[in-house]
Structure 1
């Protein structure tokens, strides 16, 4: 059961006690609010949590072999509910967590004016990004031309050569491919480093 639902149930227990002018059993709360999905022990647990939070919210009598048997409201019950009850406590706790998590995120969100001012003051950054994109496109095109060239030489323009010459040529093409691949890998790593430095 969520903390929200538990807070709501505790408030309902207190409201029910406030509506009555006499003592009543925990069983009544169970029958009224929790049957059949939860147990009587769960109702007792919620009353115990109310008691732990503030012993003056309910007048509790033991009996019939149970620590919590009969309940009644107290003058503090109405005051507590008027202040918002357990739901108000839940909301305040959630707000505290939201504030805490907001502070942890660290970077405050920029306003629209601040973002526009930042854009105006960073034309160099735009130019560097355009240059970086151009470099990546050039590397990609170069890589594609190399692949097409290797594919064309290997499959589309076959030359009838002796087996040892063919093997030598294949090794040469493989070495060329590896060298081109390493070169492009270095260029991409350089481009990535430039991109990372721009994002910092």
Structure 2
């Protein structure tokens, strides 16, 4: 559980004690605030932390073998809560840490003159960024055209066939065409002969 929630719970314990006019068992705090998720020992630990901070915030009686069995508010409880309670202590501690870490960062605040100089330098930075983007774009376009030209030369340009090779291939196709034509004519004659024999 974070320190923030622990501080919140401690304040709620004190507020609960303040609302009651009599002593109550520590088990009541467990039932009211932490029963399903935490143990009774955790409630005892938080009450001990309250007492370690200021033993006058709660009146404690032991019993049933426990050091802390019954609790009640004291006159100091209300004063402590009016001053902000444990949440106020937590917030102040966090503010101290924030201040301390801010001092450690070593970032001195800029003077007005330094801020003006930075603003004057800003247009130069914009121009430099624009020039850099233009240069990067030019390199990218150049690279793209190089890739396209390599692609065109290797894959898209047709292969030229020498004239004698072309003539030889054409002659082969003609011979193949003539052979297929003769075969089809022969098949046609046979089919005609079969038809004639069927009709007679």
TM norm. shorter chain > 0.5 = yes
Higher-Rg structure is: 2
In the TM superposition, what are the counterparts of 1:135-150 in structure 2 within 5 Å?
135-150=135-150
- After superposition, the C-alpha distances for 1:146-184 in whole angstroms (9 at most, x for unaligned) are 1011111111114459xxxxxxxxxxxxxxxxxxxxxxx
Query: Structure 2: any 5+ residue segments left out of the alignment?
Result: 162-200
SS at match of 1:59: strand
**Once superposed, which parts of structure 1, at least 4 consecutive aligned residues long, lie more than 4 Å away?**
100-110, 114-117
Whole-angstrom distance in 1 between the partners of 2:31 and 2:135: 73
Match of 2:44 in 1: 44
TM-score, scaled to structure 2 = 0.66
TM-score, scaled to structure 1 = 0.66
Tell me the CA shift for residue 82 of structure 1: 1.1
- Does the alignment pair 1:133 with 2:110? no
Whole-angstrom distance in 2 between the partners of 1:16 and 1:151: 81
Tell me the CA shift for residue 5 of structure 1: 2.3
Tell me the CA shift for residue 133 of structure 1: 1.5
Match of 1:84 in 2: 84
Corresponding residue pairs, total: 160
In the TM superposition, what are the counterparts of 1:145-164 in structure 2 within 5 Å?
145-160=145-160
Structural RMSD (CA) = 2.9
